[in-house]
Amino acid sequence: MESERVARVHTPALQTKLPEVGTTIFTVMSALAAEHGAVNLGQGFPDFDCDPALVQGVNAAMLEGLNQYPPMAGVAPLRTAVAAKLQDFYGRRYDTATEITITAGATQAIITAVLAVVRPGDEVIVLEPCYDSYVPNIALAGGTVVRVPLTPHSFRPDFDRIAAAITPRTRAILVNTPHNPSGTCWSAQDMGRLEELLAPTEVLVISDEVYEHMVFDGREHQSIARFPGLAARGFIVSSFGKTFHVTGWKVGYVAAPAALTAEFRKVHQFNVFTVNTPVQHGIARYMADPAPARELPAFYQRKRDLFREGLARTRLDLLPCEGTYFQCADISRVSDLSEPAFCEWLVREIGVAAIPMSAFYGGGFEQRVVRFCFAKKDETLRAALGRLARL
Protein backbone atom coordinates (compact mmCIF):
# COMPACT_ATOMS: atom_id res chain seq x y z
CA MET A 1 0.00 0.00 0.00
CA GLU A 2 2.80 2.40 0.89
CA SER A 3 4.51 1.82 -2.46
CA GLU A 4 1.22 2.42 -4.30
CA ARG A 5 0.70 5.69 -2.42
CA VAL A 6 4.22 6.87 -3.27
CA ALA A 7 3.71 5.91 -6.90
CA ARG A 8 0.68 8.20 -7.08
CA VAL A 9 2.74 11.20 -5.86
CA HIS A 10 3.98 13.12 -8.86
CA THR A 11 4.16 16.60 -10.33
CA PRO A 12 1.77 16.94 -13.28
CA ALA A 13 3.39 17.82 -16.59
CA LEU A 14 2.86 21.31 -17.95
CA GLN A 15 2.84 22.69 -21.46
CA THR A 16 4.80 25.90 -21.16
CA LYS A 17 3.20 29.17 -22.25
CA LEU A 18 6.65 30.59 -23.03
CA PRO A 19 8.61 27.84 -24.78
CA GLU A 20 11.29 30.21 -26.07
CA VAL A 21 12.05 31.81 -22.71
CA GLY A 22 15.06 30.60 -20.75
CA THR A 23 17.65 32.18 -18.50
CA THR A 24 18.14 35.80 -19.56
CA ILE A 25 21.44 37.08 -20.91
CA PHE A 26 21.57 39.53 -18.00
CA THR A 27 21.52 36.70 -15.46
CA VAL A 28 24.11 34.75 -17.43
CA MET A 29 26.52 37.67 -17.78
CA SER A 30 26.08 38.84 -14.18
CA ALA A 31 26.85 35.33 -12.92
CA LEU A 32 29.89 35.11 -15.19
CA ALA A 33 31.07 38.52 -14.00
CA ALA A 34 30.76 37.44 -10.36
CA GLU A 35 32.64 34.21 -11.07
CA HIS A 36 35.57 36.04 -12.68
CA GLY A 37 35.61 39.17 -10.52
CA ALA A 38 34.75 41.32 -13.53
CA VAL A 39 33.47 44.88 -13.43
CA ASN A 40 29.80 44.42 -14.28
CA LEU A 41 28.70 46.96 -16.90
CA GLY A 42 26.10 44.54 -18.22
CA GLN A 43 22.84 44.78 -16.32
CA GLY A 44 21.32 48.26 -16.20
CA PHE A 45 21.21 49.45 -12.62
CA PRO A 46 23.20 52.01 -10.59
CA ASP A 47 25.85 50.95 -8.09
CA PHE A 48 25.44 54.21 -6.13
CA ASP A 49 22.84 55.29 -3.58
CA CYS A 50 19.83 57.51 -4.05
CA ASP A 51 19.35 60.89 -2.40
CA PRO A 52 19.08 60.31 1.40
CA ALA A 53 16.11 62.70 1.43
CA LEU A 54 14.12 60.16 -0.58
CA VAL A 55 14.78 57.40 1.95
CA GLN A 56 13.96 59.77 4.77
CA GLY A 57 10.61 60.53 3.16
CA VAL A 58 9.75 56.83 2.99
CA ASN A 59 10.87 56.28 6.59
CA ALA A 60 8.76 59.23 7.72
CA ALA A 61 5.71 57.78 5.98
CA MET A 62 6.22 54.45 7.75
CA LEU A 63 6.61 56.15 11.14
CA GLU A 64 3.43 58.13 10.49
CA GLY A 65 1.52 54.87 10.16
CA LEU A 66 1.05 54.94 6.39
CA ASN A 67 1.49 51.19 6.13
CA GLN A 68 -1.89 49.76 5.08
CA TYR A 69 -3.41 49.23 1.64
CA PRO A 70 -3.48 52.37 -0.51
CA PRO A 71 -6.14 52.98 -3.15
CA MET A 72 -5.89 50.57 -6.08
CA ALA A 73 -4.85 53.32 -8.51
CA GLY A 74 -2.23 54.78 -6.17
CA VAL A 75 -2.20 57.36 -3.40
CA ALA A 76 -3.65 60.72 -4.40
CA PRO A 77 -0.53 62.81 -3.58
CA LEU A 78 1.64 60.74 -5.92
CA ARG A 79 -0.89 60.74 -8.76
CA THR A 80 -1.15 64.51 -8.33
CA ALA A 81 2.66 64.84 -8.44
CA VAL A 82 2.83 62.76 -11.63
CA ALA A 83 0.12 64.87 -13.29
CA ALA A 84 1.96 68.06 -12.35
CA LYS A 85 5.21 66.70 -13.77
CA LEU A 86 3.62 65.64 -17.06
CA GLN A 87 2.05 69.06 -17.50
CA ASP A 88 5.25 70.85 -16.51
CA PHE A 89 7.54 68.84 -18.80
CA TYR A 90 5.26 68.02 -21.74
CA GLY A 91 2.36 70.46 -21.61
CA ARG A 92 -0.43 67.88 -21.36
CA ARG A 93 -2.88 67.65 -18.49
CA TYR A 94 -3.84 64.21 -17.23
CA ASP A 95 -6.67 63.82 -14.74
CA THR A 96 -5.34 62.47 -11.45
CA ALA A 97 -8.47 60.47 -10.67
CA THR A 98 -9.09 58.79 -14.02
CA GLU A 99 -5.89 58.91 -16.09
CA ILE A 100 -2.90 58.08 -13.86
CA THR A 101 -2.14 54.73 -12.21
CA ILE A 102 0.81 53.88 -9.96
CA THR A 103 2.35 50.52 -10.85
CA ALA A 104 4.79 47.97 -9.44
CA GLY A 105 7.52 49.16 -11.76
CA ALA A 106 7.52 49.71 -15.51
CA THR A 107 7.70 46.01 -16.40
CA GLN A 108 4.42 45.36 -14.61
CA ALA A 109 2.97 48.45 -16.26
CA ILE A 110 3.85 47.17 -19.73
CA ILE A 111 2.43 43.68 -19.28
CA THR A 112 -0.71 45.15 -17.73
CA ALA A 113 -1.23 47.44 -20.72
CA VAL A 114 -0.68 44.53 -23.11
CA LEU A 115 -3.07 42.23 -21.24
CA ALA A 116 -5.68 45.00 -21.10
CA VAL A 117 -5.84 45.60 -24.85
CA VAL A 118 -4.47 42.56 -26.70
CA ARG A 119 -6.73 39.61 -27.43
CA PRO A 120 -5.94 36.28 -29.14
CA GLY A 121 -5.25 36.91 -32.79
CA ASP A 122 -4.36 40.57 -32.37
CA GLU A 123 -1.04 41.70 -33.81
CA VAL A 124 1.40 43.90 -31.90
CA ILE A 125 4.31 45.63 -33.62
CA VAL A 126 7.62 45.46 -31.75
CA LEU A 127 10.61 47.48 -32.92
CA GLU A 128 13.81 45.49 -32.54
CA PRO A 129 16.19 45.51 -30.76
CA CYS A 130 13.94 45.79 -27.71
CA TYR A 131 13.63 45.24 -23.97
CA ASP A 132 13.21 41.56 -23.26
CA SER A 133 9.77 41.64 -21.61
CA TYR A 134 7.84 42.90 -24.64
CA VAL A 135 7.59 39.69 -26.65
CA PRO A 136 6.70 37.36 -23.74
CA ASN A 137 4.03 39.86 -22.63
CA ILE A 138 2.36 39.68 -26.04
CA ALA A 139 2.58 35.87 -26.05
CA LEU A 140 0.91 35.67 -22.63
CA ALA A 141 -1.94 37.81 -23.97
CA GLY A 142 -2.38 35.44 -26.92
CA GLY A 143 -1.28 38.08 -29.40
CA THR A 144 0.96 37.75 -32.44
CA VAL A 145 4.31 39.51 -32.39
CA VAL A 146 5.19 41.45 -35.54
CA ARG A 147 8.90 42.28 -35.46
CA VAL A 148 10.02 45.39 -37.33
CA PRO A 149 13.76 46.13 -37.14
CA LEU A 150 15.12 49.56 -36.47
CA THR A 151 17.76 50.59 -39.00
CA PRO A 152 20.92 48.59 -38.21
CA HIS A 153 23.67 50.48 -36.40
CA SER A 154 21.79 53.82 -36.38
CA PHE A 155 18.71 52.33 -34.69
CA ARG A 156 16.36 54.86 -36.29
CA PRO A 157 12.70 53.98 -36.97
CA ASP A 158 11.99 52.89 -40.54
CA PHE A 159 8.48 54.23 -41.14
CA ASP A 160 8.10 52.52 -44.49
CA ARG A 161 8.60 49.16 -42.77
CA ILE A 162 6.33 50.16 -39.89
CA ALA A 163 3.61 51.19 -42.35
CA ALA A 164 3.98 47.89 -44.22
CA ALA A 165 3.57 45.97 -40.96
CA ILE A 166 0.21 47.54 -40.08
CA THR A 167 -2.77 45.35 -40.97
CA PRO A 168 -6.46 45.29 -39.94
CA ARG A 169 -5.39 42.96 -37.11
CA THR A 170 -2.82 45.37 -35.64
CA ARG A 171 -3.89 46.26 -32.11
CA ALA A 172 -0.85 48.14 -30.80
CA ILE A 173 2.73 49.23 -31.36
CA LEU A 174 5.38 49.31 -28.63
CA VAL A 175 7.64 52.36 -28.79
CA ASN A 176 10.68 53.01 -26.59
CA THR A 177 12.51 56.34 -26.39
CA PRO A 178 15.14 57.02 -25.11
CA HIS A 179 15.91 53.59 -26.42
CA ASN A 180 17.25 50.59 -24.54
CA PRO A 181 19.60 49.09 -25.70
CA SER A 182 20.91 51.55 -28.31
CA GLY A 183 20.84 54.89 -26.45
CA THR A 184 19.13 56.66 -29.37
CA CYS A 185 16.21 59.10 -29.00
CA TRP A 186 13.24 59.65 -31.25
CA SER A 187 13.00 63.18 -32.64
CA ALA A 188 9.92 65.38 -32.80
CA GLN A 189 9.86 64.60 -36.53
CA ASP A 190 9.84 60.86 -35.77
CA MET A 191 6.90 61.25 -33.42
CA GLY A 192 5.10 63.41 -35.97
CA ARG A 193 5.56 60.68 -38.59
CA LEU A 194 4.15 58.07 -36.22
CA GLU A 195 1.21 60.33 -35.35
CA GLU A 196 0.43 60.81 -39.04
CA LEU A 197 0.84 57.11 -39.81
CA LEU A 198 -1.54 55.96 -37.06
CA ALA A 199 -4.16 58.69 -37.51
CA PRO A 200 -6.44 56.69 -39.86
CA THR A 201 -6.10 53.47 -37.79
CA GLU A 202 -7.34 52.03 -34.50
CA VAL A 203 -3.80 51.12 -33.42
CA LEU A 204 -2.87 51.87 -29.81
CA VAL A 205 0.58 53.02 -28.64
CA ILE A 206 2.37 51.63 -25.58
CA SER A 207 5.20 54.11 -25.03
CA ASP A 208 8.05 52.94 -22.82
CA GLU A 209 9.57 56.20 -21.54
CA VAL A 210 11.45 54.98 -18.48
CA TYR A 211 14.61 56.90 -19.46
CA GLU A 212 12.68 60.12 -20.10
CA HIS A 213 14.97 62.22 -17.88
CA MET A 214 18.22 60.88 -19.36
CA VAL A 215 18.60 62.90 -22.56
CA PHE A 216 21.85 64.61 -23.51
CA ASP A 217 23.41 67.48 -25.43
CA GLY A 218 20.43 69.79 -25.02
CA ARG A 219 17.84 67.39 -26.43
CA GLU A 220 14.25 67.30 -25.23
CA HIS A 221 12.56 64.00 -24.55
CA GLN A 222 9.77 63.54 -27.08
CA SER A 223 7.04 61.99 -24.97
CA ILE A 224 3.89 60.96 -26.77
CA ALA A 225 2.21 63.38 -24.34
CA ARG A 226 3.49 66.20 -26.58
CA PHE A 227 1.56 64.86 -29.59
CA PRO A 228 -2.25 64.96 -29.28
CA GLY A 229 -2.84 62.25 -31.86
CA LEU A 230 -0.53 59.85 -30.01
CA ALA A 231 -1.55 60.84 -26.48
CA ALA A 232 -5.19 60.14 -27.32
CA ARG A 233 -4.36 56.52 -28.20
CA GLY A 234 -1.40 55.92 -25.91
CA PHE A 235 -0.22 54.50 -22.61
CA ILE A 236 2.82 56.35 -21.24
CA VAL A 237 4.97 54.11 -19.04
CA SER A 238 7.67 55.52 -16.77
CA SER A 239 9.75 54.47 -13.76
CA PHE A 240 10.57 56.21 -10.49
CA GLY A 241 13.21 53.54 -9.99
CA LYS A 242 15.13 54.66 -13.08
CA THR A 243 14.69 58.38 -12.41
CA PHE A 244 15.60 58.36 -8.71
CA HIS A 245 18.26 55.57 -8.67
CA VAL A 246 16.06 53.08 -6.75
CA THR A 247 15.48 50.30 -9.27
CA GLY A 248 14.87 47.78 -6.48
CA TRP A 249 11.81 49.66 -5.23
CA LYS A 250 9.90 48.66 -8.39
CA VAL A 251 7.53 51.62 -8.59
CA GLY A 252 6.38 53.29 -11.80
CA TYR A 253 3.31 54.80 -13.37
CA VAL A 254 1.07 54.78 -16.42
CA ALA A 255 -0.70 57.80 -17.87
CA ALA A 256 -3.44 57.24 -20.46
CA PRO A 257 -6.82 58.65 -21.49
CA ALA A 258 -9.66 57.74 -19.14
CA ALA A 259 -11.17 55.08 -21.41
CA LEU A 260 -7.82 53.30 -21.74
CA THR A 261 -7.02 53.72 -18.04
CA ALA A 262 -10.34 52.09 -17.09
CA GLU A 263 -9.36 48.93 -18.98
CA PHE A 264 -5.79 49.10 -17.68
CA ARG A 265 -7.02 49.24 -14.07
CA LYS A 266 -9.25 46.19 -14.55
CA VAL A 267 -6.11 44.14 -15.16
CA HIS A 268 -3.94 46.04 -12.67
CA GLN A 269 -6.47 45.35 -9.91
CA PHE A 270 -6.09 41.60 -10.33
CA ASN A 271 -2.38 41.18 -11.06
CA VAL A 272 -0.88 43.34 -8.29
CA PHE A 273 -3.92 45.26 -6.96
CA THR A 274 -1.77 48.11 -5.69
CA VAL A 275 1.72 49.30 -4.76
CA ASN A 276 3.30 49.65 -1.33
CA THR A 277 2.04 52.67 0.55
CA PRO A 278 5.02 54.30 2.30
CA VAL A 279 7.17 54.34 -0.83
CA GLN A 280 4.37 56.05 -2.74
CA HIS A 281 4.09 58.77 -0.09
CA GLY A 282 7.87 59.15 0.11
CA ILE A 283 8.19 59.62 -3.65
CA ALA A 284 5.28 62.08 -3.70
CA ARG A 285 6.99 64.25 -1.08
CA TYR A 286 10.31 64.05 -2.90
CA MET A 287 8.70 65.15 -6.18
CA ALA A 288 7.57 68.42 -4.58
CA ASP A 289 11.03 69.64 -5.62
CA PRO A 290 11.40 69.27 -9.43
CA ALA A 291 15.17 69.83 -9.29
CA PRO A 292 16.28 66.14 -9.11
CA ALA A 293 14.50 65.26 -12.36
CA ARG A 294 15.69 68.44 -14.08
CA GLU A 295 19.29 67.84 -13.00
CA LEU A 296 19.39 64.22 -14.15
CA PRO A 297 20.45 64.86 -17.78
CA ALA A 298 23.60 66.72 -16.68
CA PHE A 299 24.35 64.08 -14.01
CA TYR A 300 24.32 61.22 -16.52
CA GLN A 301 25.87 63.21 -19.37
CA ARG A 302 28.96 63.73 -17.22
CA LYS A 303 29.19 59.97 -16.66
CA ARG A 304 28.61 59.32 -20.35
CA ASP A 305 31.39 61.72 -21.31
CA LEU A 306 33.81 60.20 -18.78
CA PHE A 307 33.11 56.74 -20.12
CA ARG A 308 33.24 57.71 -23.79
CA GLU A 309 36.54 59.53 -23.32
CA GLY A 310 38.08 56.35 -21.94
CA LEU A 311 36.57 54.08 -24.59
CA ALA A 312 37.82 56.40 -27.33
CA ARG A 313 41.36 55.33 -26.42
CA THR A 314 40.55 51.71 -27.32
CA ARG A 315 39.89 50.05 -30.68
CA LEU A 316 36.19 49.95 -29.95
CA ASP A 317 34.19 52.23 -32.25
CA LEU A 318 31.63 54.23 -30.29
CA LEU A 319 28.06 54.59 -31.47
CA PRO A 320 26.17 57.80 -30.59
CA CYS A 321 24.62 57.93 -27.12
CA GLU A 322 21.76 60.44 -27.15
CA GLY A 323 20.01 59.21 -24.01
CA THR A 324 19.62 56.42 -21.40
CA TYR A 325 22.63 55.19 -19.42
CA PHE A 326 23.82 52.78 -22.10
CA GLN A 327 26.80 53.13 -24.43
CA CYS A 328 27.07 50.84 -27.45
CA ALA A 329 30.27 50.05 -29.31
CA ASP A 330 31.22 48.25 -32.51
CA ILE A 331 33.73 45.45 -31.84
CA SER A 332 34.79 44.86 -35.45
CA ARG A 333 38.32 46.25 -35.02
CA VAL A 334 38.87 44.25 -31.83
CA SER A 335 37.65 40.74 -32.57
CA ASP A 336 36.13 38.37 -35.14
CA LEU A 337 34.10 36.61 -32.45
CA SER A 338 30.32 36.70 -32.43
CA GLU A 339 28.75 39.21 -30.06
CA PRO A 340 27.91 36.62 -27.35
CA ALA A 341 31.31 34.95 -27.65
CA PHE A 342 33.05 38.34 -27.49
CA CYS A 343 31.14 39.26 -24.30
CA GLU A 344 32.19 35.98 -22.68
CA TRP A 345 35.79 36.56 -23.75
CA LEU A 346 35.61 40.13 -22.42
CA VAL A 347 34.62 38.87 -18.98
CA ARG A 348 37.17 36.06 -18.84
CA GLU A 349 40.17 37.82 -20.39
CA ILE A 350 39.62 41.55 -19.78
CA GLY A 351 37.47 41.48 -16.65
CA VAL A 352 34.53 43.63 -17.83
CA ALA A 353 30.95 42.49 -18.47
CA ALA A 354 28.87 43.82 -21.39
CA ILE A 355 25.73 42.62 -23.18
CA PRO A 356 25.60 41.49 -26.83
CA MET A 357 23.19 43.55 -28.93
CA SER A 358 21.99 40.33 -30.57
CA ALA A 359 20.33 39.37 -27.27
CA PHE A 360 17.71 42.07 -27.89
CA TYR A 361 16.59 40.51 -31.21
CA GLY A 362 14.30 37.53 -31.58
CA GLY A 363 16.51 35.99 -34.23
CA GLY A 364 19.82 36.94 -32.61
CA PHE A 365 20.71 39.40 -35.39
CA GLU A 366 24.46 40.14 -35.41
CA GLN A 367 25.88 43.58 -36.23
CA ARG A 368 29.15 43.50 -34.23
CA VAL A 369 27.78 45.67 -31.40
CA VAL A 370 27.80 45.32 -27.60
CA ARG A 371 26.19 47.41 -24.86
CA PHE A 372 27.78 48.83 -21.71
CA CYS A 373 25.95 50.45 -18.76
CA PHE A 374 27.55 53.61 -17.35
CA ALA A 375 25.11 54.12 -14.43
CA LYS A 376 28.01 53.47 -12.08
CA LYS A 377 30.22 55.29 -9.61
CA ASP A 378 33.10 57.13 -11.24
CA GLU A 379 35.55 54.76 -9.59
CA THR A 380 33.67 51.79 -11.08
CA LEU A 381 33.85 53.34 -14.54
CA ARG A 382 37.55 54.14 -14.15
CA ALA A 383 38.26 50.59 -13.01
CA ALA A 384 36.46 49.23 -16.07
CA LEU A 385 38.25 51.66 -18.39
CA GLY A 386 41.59 50.64 -16.93
CA ARG A 387 40.90 47.08 -18.01
CA LEU A 388 39.33 47.98 -21.34
CA ALA A 389 42.47 49.99 -22.20
CA ARG A 390 43.98 46.65 -23.27
CA LEU A 391 41.62 46.50 -26.25
Under 8 Å between Cβ of 62 and 303: no
Residues of the chain with CATH 3.90.1150.10: 2-50+292-388
Q: How far apart are CA 275 and CA 66, in angstroms?
A: 13
Q: What is the pLDDT along the chain (391 residues), one digit of tens a residue?
A: 566 666 678 899 999 999 888 778 888 888 999 999 999 999 888 999 999 999 999 999 999 999 999 999 999 999 999 999 999 999 999 999 999 999 999 999 999 999 999 999 999 999 999 999 999 999 999 999 999 999 999 999 999 999 999 999 999 999 999 999 999 999 999 999 999 999 999 999 999 999 999 999 999 999 999 999 999 999 999 999 999 999 999 999 999 999 999 999 999 999 999 999 999 999 999 999 999 999 999 999 999 999 999 999 999 999 999 999 999 999 999 999 999 999 999 999 999 999 999 999 998 899 999 999 999 999 999 999 999 999 9
In terms of C-beta density within 10 A (0-12 exposed, 13-18 middle, 19 or more buried), how is residue 167 classed? exposed
Residues of the chain with CATH 3.40.640.10: 52-289
Domain 52-289 in this protein, CATH class = alpha beta
pTM for the whole thing?
0.96
Under 8 Å between Cβ of 94 and 118: no
* Statement: 2-50+292-388 belongs to CATH 3.90.1150.10: yes
CB contact burial 237-250 (16+ within 10 A = b; e otherwise):
bbbbbbbbbbbebb
181: left (phi over 0), alpha (psi -120 to 50) or beta: alpha
